[in-house]
Amino acid sequence: MGKITIAIDGYSSTGKSTIAKRLASTLNYIYVDTGAMYRAVTFFALQEGIINDRGEVDEATLIDKLSEVHLKFVSNKETGRSDMFLNDENVEKEIRTMQVSGFVSKVAAIKEVREKLVKIQQEMGKDKGIVMDGRDIGTVVFPDAELKLFMTASPETRAARRYKELLEKGEEVTYAEVLKNVEERDRIDSTRTISPLTKAKDAIEFDNSDMGLEEQFERIHDFSQRVIERVN
Ligand code: DC
């Protein structure tokens, strides 16, 4: 059976990765969370002191040091998921903090960062059989993907989901802070000059504000089955 490429884009905390992960596992496809890659570069910048106390990113230094950034996903047998490794160190936990969330959109707006990561992503998907989630997968990384989804939900719904996740991880954060971060990232991600977050013309828009996980998964799985049948 010929495999396809599935691109899942959308706003932050729309549940893209939960759906993408499950879809990949059901179809026996590779799953790639591209947000984790932008987060790892941001964590690198923080570690290297390239982001100052005022929250400004020293772009020239980061671009200079990009060749020192080596990223890979390593499957974790305990969780059944892939962990993000930065220069051979597991940074899966470190990249999910509010600190990284606060800077990642700035780092992701840098052209050279995007060029480097897009190239790696295209290489990972060259044999198809991949579900990739992010912001520019259907528009830039795989414009020829056979199935493109664009996930949306209200900022309040998304912030509530993210808040719950962060509390479960033991982060001390308020709902108001999370909502502010979600709205700020939406704004930066959608208005940046290079590859802004936008729905590809041929993407299916999927608003899951009032939809449970099970229903979402069934509908999206159904879409993918139909596309797979059509191409085979
Ligand atoms: O999916 P996420 O929330 O973990 O992504 C973190 C940030 O990375 C997001 O605010 C924008 C950026 N990003 C991007 O610009 N392009 C992608 N393909 C994936 C993420």
Q: Say what the pTM is.
A: 0.94
Residue 193 has what pLDDT? 93
Q: Is the pLDDT of residue 81 over 90?
A: no
**Integer Cα distance of 119 and 52 in angstroms:** 28
Evaluate: CB of 102 within 6 angstroms of ligand 1: no
Evaluate: CB of 108 within 6 angstroms of ligand 1: yes
**Integer Cα distance of 16 and 9 in angstroms:** 7
Beta strands in the chain (DSSP E): 5-10, 30-33, 71-76, 81-86, 89-90, 130-134, 147-152, 204-207
Q: What secondary structure letter does DSSP report for 128?
A: S
Q: Specify the residue with its C-alpha closest to ligand 1, atom 6.
A: 35
Superfamily for 5-231? P-loop containing nucleotide triphosphate hydrolases (3.40.50.300)
Contact 14, 153 (CB under 8 A): yes
Residue 134 has what pLDDT? 96
Q: Taking residues 181-190, report their average pLDDT.
A: 93
Residue 29 has what pLDDT? 96
Q: Is the pLDDT of residue 68 over 90?
A: yes
C-alpha dist (Å) from residue 82 to 12, 25, 161: 19, 12, 21
Mean pLDDT of the chain: 95
Confidence of residue 53 (pLDDT cuts 50, 70, 90): confident
Evaluate: CB of 195 within 6 angstroms of ligand 1: no
DSSP string, 131-174: EEEESSIIIII-TT-SEEEEEE--HHHHHHHHHHHHHHTT----
Residue 144 has what pLDDT? 97
Confidence of residue 167 (pLDDT cuts 50, 70, 90): very high
Confidence of residue 54 (pLDDT cuts 50, 70, 90): confident
